[in-house]
């Protein structure tokens, strides 16, 4: 048996219209999973769905603004009803706002904490309840960050949310282990995505990234997908509560 296969599994991936979420969705489909794509943009989701289907995969799209926390539970119920069962949940969707902490607007603080931390918790609740009711195991993968371990000026809310994601991952892993629900996280290093485009275009910052990353370059989304497939597959069945950093050696570098 190929323990890295996701055949006969259904995976729900938020933020899957672009960037890391899209890369994970394509990798999961390539590993045999059916994928549920969730993001705000219907047209972008349709493009990802088409790409998956052209390669022989199966995908559903559910356009939804996840900042509407009160509707997240209902969204999951719709997904569960249409797909029959969700085996894997990947919480990718997130946002950032950059300004000094002393001037940081409280509305932006609340917006970032809601999307980056509260929504993954609410979706995880719905997913876990479905696993418990259906008496089947499940895998949850959260997206943490280097900022779960370290900090940089100007992004206090994002840093707080990613520190929270690491702790939430451990809390849910401990509580839900008895239900055979594995909960882990991936901490990306500096990856080229739409979210980081302003930083990539900043020559001084890119120079800093390349010098502080032992492997010497920005990560590409496809370089994250192996860790995601591993954590979603049977190969990781005895791993829970962990954050795996895919960072080109950044955290190991003094």
> Could you read off the pLDDT of 151-164 as tens digits, one per residue?
999 999 999 999 99
CA atoms within a 13 Å half-sphere pointing along the CA-CB vector of 211: 6
| pLDDT given at position 195 | 80
Distance of alpha carbon 41 from alpha carbon 39, whole angstroms: 6
SS3 226: helix
pTM of the model: 0.96
Distance of alpha carbon 134 from alpha carbon 241, whole angstroms: 23
Cβ proximity of 246 and 188 under 8 Å: yes
Beta strand 10-14 pairing with 138-143: unpaired
| pLDDT given at position 254 | 78
10-249: what CATH class?
alpha beta
| pLDDT given at position 1 | 55
DSSP single-letter state for residue 193: S
Query: What DSSP element (H or E) covers 140?
Result: strand 138-143
Cβ proximity of 31 and 52 under 8 Å: no
User: DSSP string of 65-87?
Assistant: -TT-GGGHHHHHHHHHHHHS---
DSSP single-letter state for residue 122: H
Please report, for the chain, the start and end positions of each structural domain, with discontinuous segments joined by +: 10-249
Tokens read off for 130: 């479905």
SS3 38: strand
Mean pLDDT of all residues belonging to the chain: 96
Cα–Cα separations (whole angstroms), residue 225 to 67, 88, 203, 230: 26, 14, 27, 9
| pLDDT given at position 203 | 95
Distance of alpha carbon 51 from alpha carbon 58, whole angstroms: 10
Residues classed as catalytic: 158
| pLDDT given at position 176 | 98
Query: What DSSP element (H or E) covers 36?
Result: strand 34-39
Tokens read off for 199: 């930083």
Considering only CA atoms, which of 100, 96, 92, 242 is closest in space to residue 159? 96
In the predicted model, residues of the chain with pLDDT beneath 70 are: 1
């Amino acid at each position: 048996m190929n323990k890295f296969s996701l055949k006969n599994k259904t995976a729900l991936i938020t933020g899957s219209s672009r960037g890391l979420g899209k890369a994970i969705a394509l990798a999961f489909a390539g590993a045999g999973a059916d994928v549920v794509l969730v993001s705000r943009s219907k047209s972008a989701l349709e493009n990802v769905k088409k790409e998956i289907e052209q390669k022989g995969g199966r995908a559903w799209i559910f356009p939804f603004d996840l900042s509407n926390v009160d509707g997240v539970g209902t969204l999951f119920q719709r997904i569960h009803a249409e797909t029959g069962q969700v085996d894997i949940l990947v919480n990718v969707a997130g946002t950032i706002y950059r300004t000094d902490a002393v001037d940081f607007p409280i509305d932006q603080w609340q917006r970032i904490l809601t999307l980056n931390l509260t929504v993954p918790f609410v979706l995880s609740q719905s997913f876990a309840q479905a696993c418990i009711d259906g008496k089947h195991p499940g895998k949850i993968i959260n997206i943490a960050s280097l900022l779960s371990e370290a900090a940089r000026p100007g992004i206090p809310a994002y840093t707080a949310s990613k520190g929270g994601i690491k702790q939430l991952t451990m809390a849910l892993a401990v509580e839900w282990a008895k239900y055979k629900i594995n909960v882990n996280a991936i901490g990306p290093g500096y990856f080229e995505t739409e979210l980081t485009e302003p930083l990539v275009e900043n020559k001084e910052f890119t120079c800093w990234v390349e010098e502080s990353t032992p492997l010497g370059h920005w990560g590409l989304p496809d370089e994250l997908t192996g860790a995601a497939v591993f954590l979603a597959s049977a190969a990781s069945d005895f791993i829970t509560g962990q954050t795996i950093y895919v960072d080109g050696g950044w955290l190991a570098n003094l």
